[in-house]
Structure 1
């Protein structure tokens, strides 16, 4: 017997969504199945046949508000050869998704045909870290609004030279965060959407850096109208990050070495900040930056399990960057002096001496942190110390 169904559209017309009810009735039938359609819309006799033809179905009659639609097999043919783009959960990632999946959603049924965009970062081992989905969820939940989270209206007055030191440090921070935004931006469009949690995490990381740039610049101009100085050596150091085209090496240089060191700097600034605004923005930015470091470490730890040559490439990247920056002056002297002023808290000779020691201690803390991260990535302690010593004197 021919499978049959019926649907009553009442006064609903095809310009108002009647096709949804008809299609729902047809979906339960095989090709050749018949749906009796009842409806009062006067345009039904025109709209129903036109819609049915476009879907490969046939209408037998449209008399007195009643029509019979015979299901064709066009919809079945359309999805014949369709491919499921893997499974939806990140635990079931395909190691190397095909280009034919393109921009299709992971786990969706993909109609045959369509564009096949090329994503050169299409291998799980090149981009993945098992912690990525959890980190993305955490990052999305911990976004903060500068207007609400920072006490911009707090009353404080700093001596002009202390304020100038804050402005100089804030200028330096903005400059570094600009590079930290550009680096992931260069890779987001190259990663296969199958690994969407990594794309999402990098997108939030870019949002973090954009917000950091905004708050650091706003603090720099909170009491004046001019930013501080920018050294050629500092910009050269950052440029080596921006031009790195290898995702693993860029993550290593930026997140593991640079941002790891940056976290120590932000913690130092939070402790020595002479005002509540500076203290708060350094605390909030440091929290974000620690998350960036966690992903960089996790990604490289994953890649090291499948790429026995990774350590050699990481080692070479450090040496290459050191050689490229050998003739630069390193950290902007104005930044170093500003850090000393903030750490000193006054212009008394003993306080300046103490401030200078604290900045040197900061550099030691940065070095120790880099060494620990290098050891976690598989380097021997002695080599980790030697490699850390080659890291740019510009901190990032």
Structure 2
């Protein structure tokens, strides 16, 4: 018989923890001899044993506890929720696992299963996700520290107006890029926690971009620029895509992929240090978003031969929905020309216009390369890239 001396520890101070530990180590049929000098020990121990299904008795030397079947029965139907590491992920976690940590021993019963409708590994996973999340967590930056806001340079009024217009446009697009991963995040089964974590950081990235672009726009006291109906229609069309892979494709692979070229353009042609800093910082984050989108779709394309057909249909469907809209806000296009020109001479404007055309060509080239990575032949990649929204995102 095993002896446990609780000394002065009572059940009001956690004595049950030591009793439970001692009972777990007992062989079947054995008893635990519990002693201690807390005045209420016997009363509390008797009640605790009754609640747990253990057998309690007492003699002149203390209390005797025999493990009852209740605790064993409680975990008889339990199962492991896969394994804690990525190699322990199951393809389709059952709904009743709910919010249990991956790898935990899940007690049978419990609350009504939570409706996580994205609950298939092949729909959400990318082997790159754990590494991308680790990189994302380490690469977070503080807008108040990472940007030297005191480095602002006083610009001519019309150049500052061009910066403000572009920043207004960036904020509008980043708001869509925040909402979409946030919506998807809430639908993913927690078993795929690395993807959840990555999307949570992606939403945080976009929130930070909205902050720095807004702050740059307002740096000199200007009002924000214009928001076109066509631009908002283009972004709103992204919100209607409920399929995880198609939403990732339209937003991250095509839209944010194009934004990598735009942010590089703004880095090159920024008229002041603050504009250069905020676009450069955002570009690093956006590259990570694009990397996950591509990796996820490469993973799924290897498993689903119908994926490319669905991706094509998504591009065509969005193009048809936006065919009658004006596309990119003309104020934004002109602002990009002005920033690339740097001055108001005819020759400079011509250079700026040519630079924006090269930007559009670079966006097209990047889209075609990513589409080819997903298995589209070059001619089909070029065709689909040409159908992408004129609003860039």
Calculate the TM-score normalised by the size of structure 2: 0.97
- Please give the alpha-carbon distance, in whole angstroms, between the structure 2 residues aligned to 1:384 and 1:372: 8
> Take 2:269 and 2:59, find their aligned partners in 1: how far apart are those partners?
82
Q: Is 1:380 aligned to residue 380 of structure 2? A: no
Q: Output the CA distance in 1 between the equivalents of 2:358 and 2:159.
A: 21
Cα offset, 1:155, TM superposition? 4.3
**Which one of 92, 97, 103 corresponds to residue 96 of structure 1?**
92
Q: Secondary structure at the match of 1:153?
A: helix
**2:177 and 2:251 in contact (8 A); partners too:** yes
**Aligned 8 A contact 1:32 1:72 in 2:** no
Q: Which residue of 2 aligns with 1:123?
A: 120
Matches of 1:6 and 1:269, distance apart in 2: 74
Pair 1:113 & 2:106 matched: no
Unaligned segments of structure 1, at least 5 residues:
none
Q: Distance in 1 between matches of 2:286 and 2:371?
A: 18
Name whichever of 35-44 and 323-332 sits farther off: 35-44
Out of 297, 302, 306, which is 1:300 matched to? 297
Deviation of 1:340 after TM superposition, in Å, equals 0.9
CA distance in 2, matches of 1:111, 1:181: 36
Q: Which stretch shifts more, 165-174 or 100-109?
A: 100-109
Quote the offset at 1:222 in angstroms. Answer: 1.1
Question: Which position in structure 2 is the counterpart of 1:5?
Answer: 2
1:353 is the counterpart of 2:328: no
Alpha-carbon distance change, 328 to 48 in structure 1, aligned in 2, over 3 angstroms? same
Q: Equivalents in 2 of 1:154, 1:218: separation in Å?
A: 13
List per-residue Cα deviations over 1:124-162 (Å, max 9, x = no partner).
111111111111111111111111111112242111111
So what's the TM-score if we normalise by structure 1?
A: 0.96
Deviation at 1:163, TM superposition (A): 1.0
How many angstroms apart in 1 are the aligned matches of 2:198 and 2:150?
Answer: 32
Superposition pairs of residues 275-354 of structure 1, within 5 angstroms: 275-354=272-351
SS in 1 for 2:303: coil
Instruction: Report deviation, 1:63.
Output: 5.1
Q: Tell me the C-alpha RMSD between the 2 structures.
A: 1.3
CA shift, 1:123, in A, is 1.3
Equivalent pair of 2:301/2:307 in contact (CA under 8 Å): yes
1:238 is aligned, of 229, 235, 242, to: 235
Unaligned segments of structure 2, at least 5 residues: none
Q: Which runs of 4+ in 1 moved over 4 A?
A: none
**TM-fit CA distance, 1:34:** 1.3
Residue of structure 2 equivalent to 1:206: 203
Query: Counterpart in 1 of 2:41?
Result: 44
Counterpart contact for 1:45–1:62, Cα < 8 Å: no
Once residues 391 and 102 of structure 1 are traced to their aligned partners in structure 2, the CA distance between those partners, rounded to angstroms, is 38
Distance between the aligned counterparts of 2:80 and 2:88, measured in 1? 13
